[in-house]
């Protein structure tokens, strides 16, 4: 049986705001964001300051927590998202 936490971002994680690249210009990243680079909008609580705003990049809005990607903890999420980034980078 699923719990609510399986479908929501993990507090204090921020892996999806660090590990992947974003190839399109975004607020704070006019040339896009390189993989492994911390997003300019990731705050000290490891939450997105653009969450729910119209300026939030489409790539970010399309990403949703999934235990198969995010794993059981932050380090697992960073490793898995980095692996996906490298495996799909052209």
Residue range 37-57, pLDDT digits in tens = 999 999 999 999 998 899 888
The number of residues in the chain equals: 90
Note the pTM of the prediction, 2 decimals.
0.83
Say which range, 10-14, 41-45, 59-63, 86-90, has the weakest mean pLDDT: 86-90
* pLDDT tier at 4, thresholds 50, 70, 90: very low
Cα distances (Å, whole numbers) of residue 83 to 15, 20, 70, 87: 12, 9, 12, 6
Question: What is the C-alpha separation between 20 and 38, in angstroms, rounded?
Answer: 9
Q: Which of 7-11, 55-59, 82-86: highest mean pLDDT? A: 82-86
**Mean predicted confidence (pLDDT) in 58-77:** 91
């Amino acid at each position: 049986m699923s719990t609510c936490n399986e479908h929501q971002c993990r507090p204090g994680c921020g892996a999806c705001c660090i590990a992947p690249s974003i190839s399109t210009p975004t607020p704070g990243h006019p040339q896009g964001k390189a993989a492994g680079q911390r997003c300019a909008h990731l705050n000290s609580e490891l939450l997105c300051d653009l969450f729910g705003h119209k300026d939030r990049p489409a790539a970010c809005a399309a990403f949703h927590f999934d235990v198969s990607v995010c794993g059981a903890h932050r380090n697992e999420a960073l490793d898995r998202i980095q692996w996906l980034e490298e495996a799909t980078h052209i």
